[in-house]
Structure 1
Amino acid sequence: MKILGLITARGGSKGVPGKNIKLLGDISLLSYTAHAANQSKLLHKSILSSDDAEIIEVAKKEQIEVPFVRPYELANDTATSISVVQHALEFMESKGEFYDAVCLLQPTSPFREKGFIDAAIQKFIAEDADALVSVLPVPHEYNPHWIFEPNSSGFLQISTGEKTIISRRQDLPKSYFRDGSVYITKTEIIKKGSFYGEKLSFIESNPDFYVNIDTLKDWEIAEKKLHFLKDKL
């Protein structure tokens, strides 16, 4: 299967100004994801989608191809991730390059275990899934079967629609949240406007590596984690 690695990194970050090229330890935030992509043996090619000249220069230094500059309308706060990926696919196809799937890699999730991307690709292919996402377990206190939401009358109801609550933690079904590290989706599903399709597989990440950088507080967490992860990336 021919899989395109796509790193998305626009300029104009508000939560952490200039975060994609900001140094986290000795290298830029973007560089962690570039290194992980370059380590993969199963990605056919890895490219960057960005509107920002400085980000593009960093990517090129990290041996990530930059075949285009992302259009302005896909680099503002209203642009959707799916439209950014669709644009990248359309551009590559216009140059005669066709891919069976896209592996979306976000710099805001910089820490991935060595071999994690390829493990995800192998599982995606073996299961013939429409898509695969990396996940982490939801802590039991936030399990959807223990979450309440207001109904139309203003009273609370169990968010899953059940009439009685599951009383024992041990009886709760497993639930997961997307950790942002890896998204793999077949091209045909992306063209329909979805990252997930009907057959959505998953791979559990190592929680020690988890951070999703959106705020300065997240950045501080990443700096603390980096101290313990340097030899594992």
Structure 2
Amino acid sequence: MLPDKTKNLAIIPARGGSKRIPEKNIKLFFGKPIIAYSIEAALASDLFDEVMVSTDNLEIAAIAQKYGAKVPFIRSFRNSDDNAGLNDVFFEVLNYYQDQGMHFTNFCGILSTAPFIEKEYLQESFSLLNEMTHAVIPVVKYDFPIERYLMIEDEILKVGDRDNYGKRSQDLPERFHDAGQFYWANCESFLLNKGFFKLMPKAYRLNRNVFQDIDTLDDWERIEMIYQFLNMKKKPSL
């Protein structure tokens, strides 16, 4: 149950102009458009007063509505090109709802290509979003110490950080990266500070197996293999 007067909005950005993977946001992933996984997880979490998709594409809009999301407006041309960032999309959506007289306490920006997302991840991360926390971002631990990086200069392999290269892995600090799934924030704080990291977000740790960054067809095929593997592990043995 949500606290009294708390209203949450799910925003799923889904631009239509993907070049490296044509129609990436609605490409079939094990039998259904990949955006459907994000919509269904948001709806199943029972956290949101509204689940909406921000898109500039009528086909994406129709598919999003088929799976239960709302598409109250078509994204502006300004926020539909390659240079538009996620924050720009979130600002546009939040300002639209404010103009309509609809005010939300928090929003969750959910990526449209996040087939590993689970309703439990949304529920558990939302529990971190309390009065003392204005944002939550899922993260994944690097599986190799980034301090021990190498560089290639003029085709020659060089050590990047000599002070850390010889240290044991356990003596180096843990480092994390964005899990590529979703982002929670208090709406008022986000609009005021114009971004997530100024809000001193809490980290919600996820297993590195559920990280996805789908930019190329090779990425897509790799994610399909991981998805199959994870789902085989879920099946009970006979």
TM-score norm. by structure 1 comes to 0.86
**Counterpart residue number, 1:39:** 44
Kept in 1, the 8 Å contact 2:148–2:160? The answer is: no
Question: Where do residues 106-121 of structure 1 align in structure 2 (5 Å cutoff)?
Answer: 106-121=111-126
Q: Distance in 2 between matches of 1:188 and 1:82?
A: 14
Kept in 1, the 8 Å contact 2:25–2:35? The answer is: yes
**Counterpart residue number, 2:24:** 19
Q: CA deviation at 1:173?
A: 1.1
Q: Distance in 2 between matches of 1:226 and 1:97?
A: 37
**Counterpart residue number, 1:225:** 226
**Counterpart residue number, 1:175:** 175
Say yes or no: does 1:205 pair with 2:231: no
Kept in 2, the 8 Å contact 1:8–1:49? The answer is: yes
Kept in 2, the 8 Å contact 1:131–1:197? The answer is: no
**Corresponding letter in the other structure for 1:168:** R
Kept in 2, the 8 Å contact 1:211–1:221? The answer is: no
Say how many residue pairs are matched.
221
Kept in 1, the 8 Å contact 2:108–2:182? The answer is: yes
Q: Distance in 2 between matches of 1:149 and 1:3?
A: 44
Question: Where do residues 35-114 of structure 1 align in structure 2 (5 Å cutoff)?
Answer: 35-114=40-119
Is the partner of 1:180 in helix, strand or coil?
coil
Distance change (3 Å), C-alpha of 1:117 and 1:13: same
Is the partner of 2:52 in helix, strand or coil?
strand
Kept in 2, the 8 Å contact 1:134–1:179? The answer is: yes
**Counterpart residue number, 2:155:** none
Kept in 2, the 8 Å contact 1:2–1:100? The answer is: yes
Q: Distance in 2 between matches of 1:156 and 1:209?
A: 30
**Counterpart residue number, 1:6:** 11
Per-residue CA distance 1:98-144 (angstroms, 9 max, x = gap): 11221000012221134111111111227x32211111101233x2x
Q: Distance in 1 between matches of 2:148 and 2:159?
A: 12
Is the partner of 2:198 in helix, strand or coil?
coil
Question: Where do residues 124-135 of structure 1 align in structure 2 (5 Å cutoff)?
Answer: 124-125=129-130, 128-135=132-139
Residue identity over aligned pairs, in percent, reads 29
Q: Distance in 1 between matches of 2:186 and 2:119?
A: 23
**Counterpart residue number, 2:3:** none
Q: Distance in 2 between matches of 1:195 and 1:104?
A: 11
Relative contact order, CA 8 A, sep 6+: which one is greater? 1
Q: CA deviation at 1:44?
A: 2.4
Kept in 2, the 8 Å contact 1:132–1:196? The answer is: no
Is the partner of 1:125 in helix, strand or coil?
coil
Taking only aligned residues, the RMSD between alpha carbons, in angstroms, comes to 2.2
Kept in 2, the 8 Å contact 1:25–1:226? The answer is: no
Kept in 2, the 8 Å contact 1:7–1:107? The answer is: yes
Distance change (3 Å), C-alpha of 1:96 and 1:174: same
Q: CA deviation at 1:42?
A: 1.8
Say yes or no: does 1:138 pair with 2:142: yes
